[in-house]
Amino acid sequence: MPGWRSEGRFYAQGLAPGRFAQLRGGRDAQATNFRRDEGLISFSASQVLLPLTGGVQDRISWWLQLTAIVAGDPQRFSPGNEIILPVAGLRGELRNWVFTVIGLEPLQLAADSASHPVLRMQRRALGPYDGEMSVWLDPGRAYLPVWLQRVLPDEHGWEMQWLSDQVNP
């Protein structure tokens, strides 16, 4: 079963990814490396080297960077406003992901007894083979993402949902 792993640290502009890996069989299958000491991004699936600029995220860290940006000044994000996050992929690409604020929507999660308003943001497809992505950020949970939905053109996709506030040891 495939999986993802993101490692990094914090710095002045937020999260600083160090390495992102897509896993197959529990091992790294492809990786994106953020070589901060050299100011470069390298890719295991490509010979491309890209300049590493401030704020660049990987395919997982953007979730928490988006959370931090919105939580830092939530009144700034009314419907129609946008957040631009540069995100490095796995094959030598660096794209600006533009998230548009849709607005507050009622949502009931498995972790909650009733629905409550969450902030929905949407990223349009980046091309013909990419899909839309929606993320719902919960003001009651410090704007953590409580639902992610990716809809692909071939009618496949995935969802992730916050299931519980309980911490399991």
Residues 27-40: tens digit of each pLDDT: 778 999 999 999 99
Name which of 134, 30, 36, 137 is nearest 77 in CA terms: 137
Please count the structural domains in the chain: 1
Q: At residue 1, does pLDDT exceed 70?
A: no
Q: At residue 169, does pLDDT exceed 70?
A: no
Both tokens of 96, joined, read 């600006």
- Over residues 128-143, mean pLDDT: 92
Residue 108 lies in a domain: yes
Name which of 65, 150, 74, 69 is nearest 119 in CA terms: 74
Contact predicate 117/98, CB 8 Å: no
Residue 69 lies in a domain: yes
Residue 168 lies in a domain: no
Q: Which pLDDT does position 99 carry in this prediction?
A: 97
Residue 167 lies in a domain: no
Q: Which residue has the higher pLDDT, 119 or 161?
A: 119
Contact predicate 146/161, CB 8 Å: yes
Q: From the centroid of its chain, how far is CA 127?
A: 18
Instruction: Give the alpha-carbon dihedral of 160, 6, 141, 107, to 10 degrees.
Output: -20
Q: Which pLDDT does position 114 carry in this prediction?
A: 87
- Over residues 78-95, mean pLDDT: 94
Residue at token pair 């600083």: 16
Range of the domain at 105: 3-161
Residue 166 lies in a domain: no
Contact predicate 56/94, CB 8 Å: yes
Q: Which residue has the higher pLDDT, 111 or 103?
A: 103
Burial of 104 (0-12, 13-18, 19+ CB in 10 A): middle
Q: Which ranges of the chain does DSSP label H, i.e. alpha helix?
A: 62-72
- Over residues 157-162, mean pLDDT: 85
Residue 169 lies in a domain: no
3-class SS of residue 143 = coil
Is 0.75 surpassed by the pTM of this model?
Answer: yes
Cα–Cα distance for residue pair 38/63, rounded to 1 Å: 25
Q: Which residue has the higher pLDDT, 160 or 101?
A: 101
Q: Which pLDDT does position 113 carry in this prediction?
A: 82
Cα–Cα distance for residue pair 119/39, rounded to 1 Å: 34
